[in-house]
Structure 1
Amino acid sequence: MTDDATAVLVGAGAAVAVLGCATALFNRLTVRRLPESAAVIEPITICVPARDEAHRLPDLIADLRAQSGAPRLQVLVLDDASSDGTAEAAEKAIDGDPRFLVIRSRDEPERGWTGKAAACARLAEAADTAVLVFLDADVRLAPGAIAAAVAELRRGPAALVSVWPRQDAGSFAEALAQPLLCWSWASTLPVAVANRSLWPSTAVACGQFLVFDAAAYRAVGGHAAVADSATEDLDIARAVRRSGRQTVLVVAGRLAGTRMYRGVAELDAGYTRWLWSAYGGSRPASAAVGAVALLGYVVAPVAAVAGRGRARRAGIVGYAAAVTGRLLARSIESGATPTRADVVAALAHPVSVLAYTTLSIRSHRAHRRDKLRWKGRSLPHR
C-alpha cells in the first residue's frame, strides 16, 4: 500500500473516532440523569429474578430496605432453581420485612424461553401495581434510586424508562471491557434525540434496571414477547416502541451501579452468550461494525505510533479522539470526573476494541454451533 493510500485509510479511521468523540460530547451535555431526590406515593412492585445469587442478593436487599421516597414499595424475589442457597440468603437478609416475598421455583423454563425471561414473566404475573421495576441481583442502589426512577417514568410520556447503572470493575479486564457498554451508545447515538423517537432501531435499554408502566408492559406481551431473546431488555424496548409507546434512557450516575461480571471467565461467558444477537443477529452487519471499529480505534492508534507523515498525524488525531470519547462516555455513566483507572483503561481502548471483536467472533461461532450456555442452561437457538 502506498503512503498516500495509507494516509487515506488512517484518515478515515480518525474521522470515525472524531465523530464518535463529538457524539459522546453531545451526550455528556444532554443525557438526562436521575434526580438526586424524589418522592412517589403510588404502589411499586420490584421484581428481582435470581439464579445462584446467594453472594450478591443480600446486598441488593439491604439497599432496597433502605430506600426512601417510596413508602408503598413491595419486592418480589424469584429464586430460579438455584443450587447455592439463594432463597435462604434472601430470607436472612429480609429479616421478616413484610414488604418482601421470596418465591421459590424448581421449574426449568419452558422450551423456547430463556431463564431470565421466564423468571421475569412469573414475577410480573404475581404483581398487581401500576408500576413494575425489574432489577438484577448485582445492582446496588443509593437510598433514593427507586423513587427517582419511578418519578422519571411518571414525568411522561414514556412507557418504559431504562435506567443505566454505573458499570463498576474489580479487575483490569473488567475495566477494559465494561465501559464499552456505555461507550457503544454514547459514541454512536444522540440519546436526547433518540429518546423522542419511536424507531425501534434507536432504542437503548439495560435490563439491569427497567421501570415499566404495567399496563404498557402487559399490552406488548411482557417478557413472553421476548421469551427466546438473548437481549430481552433491548428487544422488549423495541416491542414497546413498535406499539407506538415511547421508551427513554436515563443515567443513574451515583444512584445505581453494578459489577456485572467478575473476572475474565465471567466476562467471556457473559458476552459470548449474547454478542451474536447484536445488529439483528446478522453476521455481515456485525462484521461491518467490527471492521469500522477496528479502523477507527485500532488502525488509527497503530498509525500514531508506527506511521509516518500524514498517516501518523491522522493517527494521533484519531487516537486522541478515541481516548477522549472513551473518557466522556465514562463520565456520562459515572456522573463524576474519570479516575486514574478510567484514564488507564481509556489509553488501552484499542485493546478493548480488539477484545470486543474477539468476543463477537466467539459468540457468533458458539451460536452457529448451538453451544450457547448461561448459568448451567442451554440458551434457545434463534
Structure 2
Amino acid sequence: MSWLVLLPWAALAAHTVVNAALLRRLPPAATVSEKVAVLLPVRNEADRVQPCLESLLAQEGVPGLTIFVLDDGSTDQTAEVVRAAAGDKVRLLTGAPLPAGWLGKPHACHQLAEAAAGADVLSFVDADVVLAPDAIRRATTLLRRTGVTLLSPYPEITGAGRLVQPLLQWSWLTFLPLRAMERSPRPSLSAAGGQWLLVDRAGYQRAGGHAAVRADVLEDIALARQVKRTGGRIALADGSPAASCRMYATWPALVAGYGKSLWHSFGSAPAAGAVVVILLLLYAAPAVAAPILAASGEFRWAAIALTAYLLGVCGRATAASVTGGRAWPDALAHPASIVLFGWLVARSFRLRRRGALTWKGRPL
C-alpha cells in the first residue's frame, strides 16, 4: 500500500505525456492569402534586434505581409539599427509618450495594432525572437485551421537559465489540460507566451485589444483571458521548429526579468507561497529524502522517494523533448530548478513590497 503514495507523481507525469501527444504542431507551409501584419515593439534593443528583423524580412508565402516596428522611447541606437537593416521594407513608428495608467509593452502593442488597421491577422513578435522563413505562414495556417482567436506558438528558448527557462513549457504541459483549455470559456484556464502571438484582428478588437490589458505586467496571459471573456478561443502550439527566442543573455538579466513579473503570476503572496511549497514537496523533497532514507535503512521508502524523483525527471524530459528543449542531462536537475524558481518568486514579491520593480528604465 505504501507505493500508492506515488499516485500524484504518476498522474502528473502521465498528464505531461498526454499533453505532449496532444500539443498542436505547426502544419506544413502553405501560401497565405490573407493580409498579415507582423508587429515588433522595441525599446533599447540595438544589440539584438537585427537577427529578428532579418528573419522577418525573409518570410515567404505571405504575399500580404507587412512589418511594423515601433521604437518605444529607446535611448540607444535601436532606430538606427532598424533603418540600416530594413530601410523602407518596414514601417518604423516612433512611440507616443506613455500615458498614465499604461505599461510600456501594452501601449507599444496598442499603437502597432492601430497602425496595422487593414490586416486580417496580427502577429506580435518580440525583438529576441528569430523566425524561420516559413514561420508566419505555418502559424497563420494553424490559426485558421483550428478556428481559434489567439494562437501562442511557443518558440525554442535559448540563452541563459537552462535550469529555469524550461519551466515555462513544463508548467503548462504538466498542470494545464491543453484541449480542455481550448474548449473551456473560463478565462482562468488560459496560457500564452508574449514572445510570439498570432491573433485574428476581429477577435482582437472584440476583446478590446491591448487597451483592455493596459496596466497588466503579464499582458500576454491577460490578453488571452480577455479573448475568452469576449467569446473567443485560444490555443498553444509548439513553435520550436520555426522560432527561437533568446530571452536572456545573462543570469542577472534573467533574474531581473523574472523579478518584474512573477509576483503577478499567482494573484497573492499566500497563493504563491502555497504553489511553491507544493512544487518543492513534489519535485525537490524526494531527491533530498531518497539518500537520507537509504542511509537510515528505510530502503522501501528510499525506493519510493527515488521513484517520485524519477517520475518528475520523466515529466521534465518529456516537456523538453516536444518543445525544442534540452532533455538530458538538464531534466536530472529538475529539483534544483524548482528551488531556484522558489527563490525567484520570493525575490519578486520582496521587490514588489519595496516598490523597487523596474523594467527597461520604467517603474512598474
Give the TM-score normalised by structure 1: 0.90
**Per-residue deviation at 1:262?**
1.6
Residue 221 of structure 1 deviates from its aligned partner by 1.1
Of 125, 129, 133, which aligns to 1:135? 125
Quick one: distance in 1 between partners of 2:52 and 2:291?
45
* Partner of residue 193 from structure 1, selected from 180, 195, 198: 180
Map 1:163-182 onto structure 2 (within 5 A): 163-169=153-159, 171=160, 174-182=161-169
2:16 to 13, 17, 24: 24
Which AA in structure 1 matches 2:101? G
Residues 89-148 of structure 1: CA deviation (Å, up to 9, x unaligned):
011110432xx111123x442222111011000111111212111000101111110001
1:20 Cα offset (Å): 2.3
Question: Structure 2 matches for 1:44-193, cutoff 5 A?
Answer: 44-97=36-89, 100-105=90-95, 107-128=96-117, 129-169=119-159, 171=160, 174-193=161-180
Aligned residues of 1:240 and 1:247 also touching (Cα < 8 A) = yes
Aligned to 2:341: 356
1:367-378 equivalent positions in 2, closer than 5 A: 367-378=352-363
Paired residue for 2:230? 243
Unaligned runs of 5+ in 2: none
Which range moves more in the overlay, 192-201 or 261-270? 192-201
Report if the CA contact (8 A) 1:76-1:123 is conserved. Answer: yes
Alpha-carbon shift at residue 17 of structure 1 (Å): 3.1
Q: Which residue of 1 aligns with 2:243?
A: 256
The answer to whether the 8 A contact 1:54-1:84 is kept is yes
**Structure 1 residue matching 2:248: 3-state secondary structure:** coil
Using the TM superposition, name which of 110-119 and 149-158 deviates more: 149-158
Please list every run of at least 4 consecutive aligned residues from structure 1 whose deviation after the TM superposition is greater than 6 angstroms: none
2:322 aligns with 332
1:345 Cα deviation after fit = 1.6
Q: Please report how far the alpha carbon of residue 196 of structure 1 lies from its aligned counterpart in structure 2 after TM superposition.
A: 1.8
Tell me the equivalent position of 1:300.
286
CA-to-partner distance for each residue in 1:322-351, whole Å, 9 max, x for gaps?
A: 1111111111211xxx65xx3122111111
Q: Distance in 1 between matches of 2:333 and 2:146?
A: 40
Q: Is the 8 A contact 1:15 1:318 kept in 2?
A: no
Does the residue aligned with 2:329 lie in a helix, a strand or coil?
helix
Q: How far did 1:305 drift?
A: 2.3
One-letter amino acid matched to 2:353: R
Contact 1:26 1:190 in 2 (8 A): no
Q: Distance in 2 between matches of 1:223 and 1:232?
A: 8
CA distance in 2, matches of 1:252, 1:363: 28
Deviation (angstroms), 1:15: 4.1
1:65 Cα deviation after fit: 1.1
What value does the CA root-mean-square deviation take over the aligned residues? 1.7
Q: Secondary structure at the match of 2:328?
A: helix
- For CA contacts below 8 A with separation 6 or more, give which structure has more relative contact order: 1
Aligned equivalents of 1:372, 1:16: Cα separation in 2: 36
| Deviation string, structure 1 residues 143-190 (Cα, Å, up to 9, x no partner) | 110001111121242111111111113x4xx11111010011111112
1:31–1:250: 8 Å Cα contact kept in structure 2? yes
Conserved 8 A contact 1:15-1:296? no
Counterpart amino acid of residue 202 in structure 1:
L
Which residue is 2:215 aligned to?
Answer: 228
For 2:279 and 2:68, the matched residues in 1 are separated by: 41
Q: Which amino acid is the alignment partner of residue 321 of structure 2? A: S
- The whole-number CA distance in structure 2 between the counterparts of 1:236 and 1:91 is 30
Contact 1:27–1:332, Cα closer than 8 Å, also in 2? no
User: Runs of 5+ in structure 1 lacking a partner?
Assistant: none
1:332-373 deviations in Å (ceiling 9; x for gaps): 211xxx65xx31221111111001001101111222222211
SS in structure 2 of the partner of residue 168 of structure 1: strand
